Amino acid sequence: MKYIYITLLAALTLGTVASCKSDDPFSTVSENDLPFILSPVFPESAPDGTPGLLTTITHDVEYKMDVVVTPADYTTVTWYVDGVEAAKGTKFAKIFPTGDYLLKVVAKTTKGLETYRQGYIHVNPLAGEPYTNMGADNFAAPGFETTLKGGNLNLVKAIRLGDNIDIAEVHPSEDGGEISFVVPAGIADGTYRVTLLAADGVEYGGNTLTVTSNPMVQSGYARVTSGGVFTLTGMSLNNIKSLTLVGEDGEEHVISEFVSQESAMLQALCPSVPDGLYRLYGEAVDGSDVMFFEYGALVAEVTITVTVEQTLWEGHHYVSWELADGDPNKTFSYAQNLIGGLNPGTKLRVYYSLDSSAGYHQMQVTTAWWIDLPGTGKIDLTEDGVRLVELTQEQLNLINEQAGFLVVGHGFFVDRVTIE
CB distance 9 to 18 below 8 Å: no
Q: Considering only CA atoms, which of 139, 144, 133, 131 is closest in space to residue 195?
A: 131
Regions of the chain short of the pLDDT cut 70? 1-29, 48, 135-137, 336
| Residue 144: other Cβ atoms inside 10 A | 14
d(CA 283, CA 263): 15
Mean pLDDT score of the chain, rounded to an integer? Answer: 88
112-to-34, 101, 248 alpha-carbon distances in Å: 10, 27, 42
d(CA 239, CA 186): 18
d(CA 236, CA 288): 13
Q: Considering only CA atoms, which of 179, 192, 165 is closest in space to residue 84?
A: 192
Find residue 266's DSSP bridge partners.
Answer: 232, 261
CB distance 300 to 291 below 8 Å: yes
Residue by residue, what is the 3-state secondary structure of the chain? CHHHHHHHHHHHHHCCCCCCCCCCCCCCCCCCCCCEEEECCCCCCCCCCCCCEEEEEECCCEEEEECEEECHHHEEEEEEECCEEEEECCEEEEECCCEEEEEEEEEEECCCCEEEEEEEEEEECCCCCCEECCCHHHEECCCCEEEEEEECHHHEEEEEECCCEEECCCEECCCCCEEEEECCCCCCCEEEEEEEEECCCCEEEEEEEEECCCCEEEECCCEEECCCEEEEEEECHHHEEEEEEECCCCCEEEECCCCEECCCEEEEECCCCCCEEEEEEEEECCCCECEEEECCEEECCEEEEEECCEEEEEEEEEEECCCCCCCCCCCECCCCCCCCCCCCCCEEEEEEEECCCCCCCEEEEEECCCCECCCCCCEECCCCEEEEEECCHHHHHHHHHCCCEEEEEEEEEEEEEEEC
CB distance 400 to 343 below 8 Å: no
